[in-house]
A and B are shown apart, each in its own frame.
Chain A
Amino acid sequence: EFVLTQSPGTLSLSPGERATLSCRASQAVSDDYLAWYQQRPGRAPRLLIYGASSRATGIPDRFSGSGSGTDFTLTINRLEAEDFVVYYCQQYASAPPHTFGQGTRLEIK
């Protein structure tokens, strides 16, 4: 069973700081088909990053993705108040299920 483990579960930071979120896969993600989503309260998720490191349309360059194989990172520079929400990673490679991680909650310190 393909498992994505996100860490930490909750990250406490202050506005203006840098956030580093981790996503670790139980097996290599084919072709780095790894995406990151942001979900605000009461809203549908929004695609931030795909292909491990490509920003989706309209996403500020404060958001960046990196990694390959089994270890991936979402970095958010210069945190703004609206960034303090929940983030999910997902693999969408050729073999469903297109598993999601359990999420990381970014909260204001």
Chain B
Amino acid sequence: EVQLVESGGGLVQPGRSLRLSCAASGFTFDDYGMNWVRQAPGKGLEWVSRISWNSIIRNYADSVKGRFTISRDNAKNSVYLQMNSLRPDDTALYYCTKQMSTRGLGPFDKWGPGAMVTVSS
């Protein structure tokens, strides 16, 4: 069974940093691109970042570009989101998602339960 489990969320002051982790299991991790999607309380879904299976392609939403960095460790079946210079509008539930297609683009067929990040003084 495919599982994605996020960790590392919490309460952080504006301007500080936080690193989210996503542990994957139940599939051949290094065959698939991975993404982070966030959802502010009571709001819709916002795509945040994507990393290809081989880490060569990394994309970011304009709202986080220059502040967030996505990475992965295929040996540990994990993907990460380093979040720097956090702002109150980064407050959201952050989902780790798996792309459906191997080594290419695809919709997000598996989602983790999410990790809550709250940015507040």
A interface list, Cβ under 8 A from B = 33, 35, 37, 39, 44-47, 50, 56-57, 88, 90, 92-94, 96-103
For the residues of A in contact with B, the DSSP-based class is loop
Classify chain B: how many residues form its interface, as a range: 20 to 34
Q: Convert B29-67 into 0s and 1s, putting 1 for each residue whose CB lies closer than 8 angstroms to a CB of A.
A: 000000101000000111100100000000111100000
Candidates B35, B62, B95, B111; contact of A98 at CB < 8 Å: B35
Interface centre among B45, B50, B61 (most CB of A within 10 A): B45
> Are B50 and A35 within 8 A (Cβ)?
no
For the residues of B in contact with A, the DSSP-based class is strand
State how many angstroms separate the Cβ of A100 from the closest Cβ of chain B.
4
- Contacts A45-B45, A96-B47, A98-B47: A90 and B107 contacting too (C-beta < 8 A)? yes
Total of A-B residue pairs, C-beta within 8 Å: 64
> Are A93 and B105 within 8 A (Cβ)?
yes
Q: Which residue of A lies closest to B95 (CB)?
A: A44
